[in-house]
A and B are shown apart, each in its own frame.
Chain A
């Protein structure tokens, strides 16, 4: 080779090497979607024997406030599982969604070094200055939040680089969404995560049993070294997999404009792929459940398509759906940016839609939790509740019933209503996650009650308007950490109405709603008697014609037989009275439908403000029934059964229910060993 060619060869080599390096980290979005305040480069090694993660992170943090910030605060979420004295464990009693862990977990910061500016000049060692803080409950044993004072403040607009060496141990089995079971790992909330600085202070809370998470957006470059045979799934896109030659491989994932990063690995995963619109979907499924792979894929496709069509573009190109291992259900039903965990059981019948529900619910979080990133500590309803509402909308468009088997149907909407009936009266919806009366109250208010409230709102303003509200909310507030009032402002703006009367009652009070028809009856209008009337006249008394009113005696004034009297008698008049009552404090304008026996139907409206309202009609017909909210729009109503009154007893309905009750009483008395059949039903799910 001559010198010219050698130089060319070297130049080409440099070009391609540099080019390869430049291409190593893809650019997913030419223009950042979010402020990218907290950016992480993380490099970790998984020790599958000790269930530990050893690693380091480099946090590049931008001070986008106008404040001089003199301390940093970090979340160490895994310390919630450190021992029984953490705030999480004390509040939960050691259980989360029915799961318990056997082995504790933790996270230890081994060193923390700070540099001012991106050039990573002189590094200040902050390790010894780290202190645990407990701003919520003062529990000195809780180590889920740390603070470290800075040698000098971070000025507005400045950038700092923090390098942290850490070690994390995962709880076993997976507990409160993260952990490990045998060969399976679901790694969530696993690295030191900087808190959010807003409104001139650090917005940081301890990890409570009812709270979730809150963080700033950024770019993540994460390298995870695992055994060779482990299949890895993670937030973002896979950039490379490098075989290290020592039985391990390093998986490099890159994500932009996300506020969290989770990953999973297992040698048992089976992979399936599909695509929905512009989103690539990857399914990591357990061998046990491979018979349901298509169900998973269909549900994921359905969810992506629905959300993009209804609420706007999901800007990320991929979604990973993870099927937790047997014995690791504590990691199921969770959302992370571009990665969700589902959960199913072997041979789950098609008529039980829990799998479809969990997939579209968790994907929905990729809008409400990921794109919008509201504060799950302080306003849990904005993520869980809005998402539960979109579950209702999805169910309406798709499967309606959560259970549909052997002729038994259990509508998804009804399940939500029942939960609200039984538990929605202790707290208001807008409340800090750990300040609810109980975990049950947190669950009902954050999820189902919000769903029912928003569905009632949809019925009030119309589905089209509600859809515009939701789309505007997503568009305007994506990547901006909205608060409750931001959403309410959009409700008023897009609907063109002042709906604060509804918002205040529904979101800020525990007021319940129940309108009822107290009575609906008709009474015959008696002919007038007494002074100013010539005789006392009734049909029974055989009165003469001239004593009947003018319009009645026109043609028959000559006759005096009772039979002829009957033929010319005016039709009877009835005074019908319908009384509507407001039984609970929540005031809502209502419609009342009154039907008469001659087929006439009247619709009235009432603002619902007073405790009762009476409607009176005088007609030649009797009332047949009266019903408040005839179209069942007010889903917040506690009791649909008292919404109507009929003049006649509904014998057929009562006979049917009673007849069945009688039969099954006889049957079960005669065959007590049928109790074993109940055990069989349990095995269907």
Chain B
């Protein structure tokens, strides 16, 4: 069921290229909003300097520290801007999720009116859902302290370093799993809302929690497997990008194209996750 959901999910996502394009363009737009001011400052700071030439061949940490030292006013304004933009981006992605789920659940091809209408319709409910999810998130994140408890129970308040070391990695893993599971519950709650056009968000959340726990292995596996595919492709991209290394104009264009191909693939993976989850959900509930 898990693998078949993923397989069908791939096919469904692939057949909705327009939605992939919407996701990709918004991702690119927000990233450009972050990168362009940064580029302007870099260009002004190092554009006519031998340091700029040196940057083409390798990263000079002296440049990094010079930049930090001489651009503090820019950075102190830029960081809050980054944070704000990241939040805004995430909210917009939540907005689009309504349209995506409605499209996948309808089983039809992309319909512009349906997509945007559903996005607008479900967005307020998704915002309420996110607020209700906060305590769930805190509980999930608190799970990592179970490891602290185990450590204290078996090794007291003065364990050997190797105990603390491996327990710390355990905490990292548990925290990662908790974050993944947070998003799983969130996604299935959204599916519940769209599927039954639920206005009672808390009820959808409750059902999602039950569904996610009842089908823990499958729901977790779907998310984890798709994440791992993303990581594997990232390594492949990094290898290729390092090989091209902005060596010359062709290299620069090559790397930028490769980056955008990779990001389009990431958006495709995002849609694949949602469609796989919808297919799995339908398979279980219907």
Q: Nearest B residue to A630 by beta-carbon distance?
A: B50
A346-B165, A666-B31 known; A627-B259 Cβ under 8 A = no
The reply to whether B35 and A670 contact each other, CB–CB distance below 8 Å, is: no
Separation in Å of the A90 CB from the closest CB of chain B?
A: 30
The reply to whether A654 and B161 contact each other, CB–CB distance below 8 Å, is: no
Chain A: how many interface residues by the 8 Å CB criterion? 57
List chain B residues, Cβ under 8 A from A642: 49
Separation in Å of the B223 CB from the closest CB of chain A?
A: 10
The reply to whether A345 and B248 contact each other, CB–CB distance below 8 Å, is: no
A658-B38, A670-B270, A676-B176 known; A653-B46 Cβ under 8 A = yes
Separation in Å of the A637 CB from the closest CB of chain B?
A: 10
Q: Nearest B residue to A291 by beta-carbon distance?
A: B162
Compute how far the CA of A639 lies from the CA of B70 in the bound complex, rounded to whole angstroms.
8
Q: Nearest A residue to B259 by beta-carbon distance?
A: A663
List chain A residues, Cβ under 8 A from B34: 661, 665
The reply to whether B175 and A679 contact each other, CB–CB distance below 8 Å, is: yes
The reply to whether B55 and A327 contact each other, CB–CB distance below 8 Å, is: no
Separation in Å of the A403 CB from the closest CB of chain B?
A: 10
Pick out which of these stretches binds chain B: A79-87, A294-302, A411-419, A440-448: A411-419
Separation in Å of the B265 CB from the closest CB of chain A?
A: 11
Q: Which of A649, A668, A672 contacts B48 (CB 8 A)?
A: A649
The reply to whether A653 and B53 contact each other, CB–CB distance below 8 Å, is: yes
The reply to whether B39 and A669 contact each other, CB–CB distance below 8 Å, is: no
The reply to whether A327 and B65 contact each other, CB–CB distance below 8 Å, is: no
The reply to whether B175 and A676 contact each other, CB–CB distance below 8 Å, is: yes
A326-B158, A625-B50, A640-B66 known; A659-B246 Cβ under 8 A = yes
- B: interface residue count bin: 35 or more
The reply to whether B248 and A650 contact each other, CB–CB distance below 8 Å, is: no
Q: Which of A345, A414, A625, A641 contacts B45 (CB 8 A)?
A: A641
Q: Is A347 an interface residue (CB 8 A)?
A: yes
List chain B residues, Cβ under 8 A from A641: 45-46, 49, 51, 62-63, 66-67, 70
Q: 8 Å CB contacts to A: which residues of B38-65?
A: 38-39, 42-43, 45-56, 61-63, 65
Q: Nearest B residue to A287 by beta-carbon distance?
A: B160
Separation in Å of the A396 CB from the closest CB of chain B?
A: 16
Q: Which of B160, B246, B256 contacts A326 (CB 8 A)?
A: B160
Q: Which of B43, B62, B179 contacts A654 (CB 8 A)?
A: B43
The reply to whether A649 and B47 contact each other, CB–CB distance below 8 Å, is: yes
A641-B70, A657-B55 known; A414-B61 Cβ under 8 A = yes
Compute how far the CA of A670 lies from the CA of B38 in the bound complex, rounded to whole angstroms.
19
Bits for A99-114, please: 1 = Cβ < 8 Å to B, else 0: 0000000000000000
Separation in Å of the A204 CB from the closest CB of chain B?
A: 39
Q: Is B267 an interface residue (CB 8 A)?
A: yes
Bits for A626-645, please: 1 = Cβ < 8 Å to B, else 0: 01000000000011111111
Compute how far the CA of A194 lies from the CA of B233 in the bound complex, rounded to whole angstroms.
68
The reply to whether B61 and A656 contact each other, CB–CB distance below 8 Å, is: no
List chain B residues, Cβ under 8 A from A326: 158, 160-161, 164
The reply to whether A639 and B158 contact each other, CB–CB distance below 8 Å, is: no
A-B contact count (CB 8 A): 181
List chain A residues, Cβ under 8 A from B133: none
Bits for B69-112, please: 1 = Cβ < 8 Å to A, else 0: 11000000000000000100110000000000000000000000
Q: 8 Å CB contacts to B: which residues of A407-426?
A: 409-411, 414, 417-418, 421-422
Compute how far the CA of A288 lies from the CA of B28 in the bound complex, rounded to whole angstroms.
48
The reply to whether A666 and B27 contact each other, CB–CB distance below 8 Å, is: yes
Compute how far the CA of A647 lies from the CA of B43 in the bound complex, rounded to whole angstroms.
14
Bits for B179-209, please: 1 = Cβ < 8 Å to A, else 0: 1100100000000000000000000000000
A641-B51, A653-B53 known; A658-B70 Cβ under 8 A = no
Q: Is B172 an interface residue (CB 8 A)?
A: yes
Separation in Å of the A460 CB from the closest CB of chain B?
A: 19
Separation in Å of the A448 CB from the closest CB of chain B?
A: 12
List chain B residues, Cβ under 8 A from A417: 62, 65
The reply to whether A656 and B55 contact each other, CB–CB distance below 8 Å, is: yes
Compute how far the CA of A624 lies from the CA of B141 in the bound complex, rounded to whole angstroms.
57
Q: Nearest B residue to A344 by beta-carbon distance?
A: B161
The reply to whether A640 and B63 contact each other, CB–CB distance below 8 Å, is: yes
Q: Nearest B residue to A289 by beta-carbon distance?
A: B161
Separation in Å of the B238 CB from the closest CB of chain A?
A: 10
Q: Is A683 an interface residue (CB 8 A)?
A: yes
The reply to whether A654 and B172 contact each other, CB–CB distance below 8 Å, is: no
The reply to whether B263 and A670 contact each other, CB–CB distance below 8 Å, is: yes
The reply to whether B53 and A646 contact each other, CB–CB distance below 8 Å, is: yes
The reply to whether A638 and B35 contact each other, CB–CB distance below 8 Å, is: no
Q: Is A397 an interface residue (CB 8 A)?
A: no
Q: Which of B28, B49, B161, B270 contacts A666 (CB 8 A)?
A: B28
Bits for A655-685, please: 1 = Cβ < 8 Å to B, else 0: 1111101110111111111001001100100
List chain B residues, Cβ under 8 A from A627: 50
List chain A residues, Cβ under 8 A from B42: 654, 657-658, 661
Q: Is B132 an interface residue (CB 8 A)?
A: no
Q: Nearest A residue to B61 by beta-carbon distance?
A: A414
Q: Nearest A residue to B165 by beta-carbon distance?
A: A346
Q: 8 Å CB contacts to A: which residues of B8-53?
A: 27-28, 30-32, 34-35, 38-39, 42-43, 45-53
The reply to whether B183 and A667 contact each other, CB–CB distance below 8 Å, is: no
The reply to whether B39 and A658 contact each other, CB–CB distance below 8 Å, is: yes
Q: Is B252 an interface residue (CB 8 A)?
A: yes
A650-B46, A673-B180 known; A410-B61 Cβ under 8 A = yes
Q: Which of A656, A661, A672, A680 contacts B35 (CB 8 A)?
A: A661
List chain B residues, Cβ under 8 A from A638: 69
Q: 8 Å CB contacts to B: which residues of A184-223?
A: none
The reply to whether B52 and A646 contact each other, CB–CB distance below 8 Å, is: yes
Q: Nearest B residue to A408 by beta-carbon distance?
A: B59
The reply to whether A653 and B31 contact each other, CB–CB distance below 8 Å, is: no
Compute how far the CA of A627 lies from the CA of B50 in the bound complex, rounded to whole angstroms.
8
List chain A residues, Cβ under 8 A from B266: 666-667, 670-671
Q: 8 Å CB contacts to A: which residues of B144-193?
A: 158, 160-162, 164-165, 168-169, 172, 175-176, 179-180, 183
Q: Is B129 an interface residue (CB 8 A)?
A: no
Compute how far the CA of A327 lies from the CA of B158 in the bound complex, rounded to whole angstroms.
8
The reply to whether A654 and B46 contact each other, CB–CB distance below 8 Å, is: yes
Q: Which of A346, A410, A654, A669 contacts B31 (CB 8 A)?
A: A669
Q: 8 Å CB contacts to B: which residues of A65-100?
A: none
Q: Nearest B residue to A656 by beta-carbon distance?
A: B246
Compute how far the CA of A158 lies from the CA of B216 in the bound complex, rounded to whole angstroms.
86
Q: Is A31 an interface residue (CB 8 A)?
A: no
Q: Which of A182, A286, A669 contacts B158 (CB 8 A)?
A: A182
Bits for A277-292, please: 1 = Cβ < 8 Å to B, else 0: 0000000001111000
The reply to whether A653 and B54 contact each other, CB–CB distance below 8 Å, is: yes
A417-B62, A640-B63, A658-B35 known; A650-B161 Cβ under 8 A = no
Compute how far the CA of A38 lies from the CA of B201 in the bound complex, rounded to whole angstroms.
80
Separation in Å of the B94 CB from the closest CB of chain A?
A: 12
The reply to whether B252 and A652 contact each other, CB–CB distance below 8 Å, is: yes
Q: Nearest A residue to B38 by beta-carbon distance?
A: A661
List chain A residues, Cβ under 8 A from B70: 639, 641
Q: Nearest B residue to A647 by beta-carbon distance?
A: B48
List chain B residues, Cβ under 8 A from A673: 176, 179-180, 183
Q: Is B255 an interface residue (CB 8 A)?
A: yes
Separation in Å of the B140 CB from the closest CB of chain A?
A: 12
List chain B residues, Cβ under 8 A from A421: 65-66, 69
Q: 8 Å CB contacts to A: which residues of B103-143?
A: none
The reply to whether A346 and B53 contact each other, CB–CB distance below 8 Å, is: no
Taking A414-B65, A671-B230 as given, write out 4 further A-B residue pairs in contact, using a Cβ cutoff of 8 Å, ordered by the A residue number. A641-B62, A654-B42, A676-B172, A680-B172
- 12 example contacts (A-B, Cβ-Cβ < 8 A) are as follows A418-B68, A418-B69, A639-B70, A640-B51, A641-B66, A653-B52, A655-B246, A659-B246, A666-B259, A669-B27, A672-B86, A683-B172
Q: What residues of chain A have their CB less than 8 Å away from a CB belonging to chain B? A: 182, 286-289, 326-327, 345-347, 409-411, 414, 417-418, 421-422, 625, 627, 638-650, 652-659, 661-663, 665-673, 676, 679-680, 683
Q: Which 7 A-B pairs have the closest CB atoms?
A: A650-B52, A653-B55, A346-B161, A665-B31, A644-B50, A652-B56, A658-B39
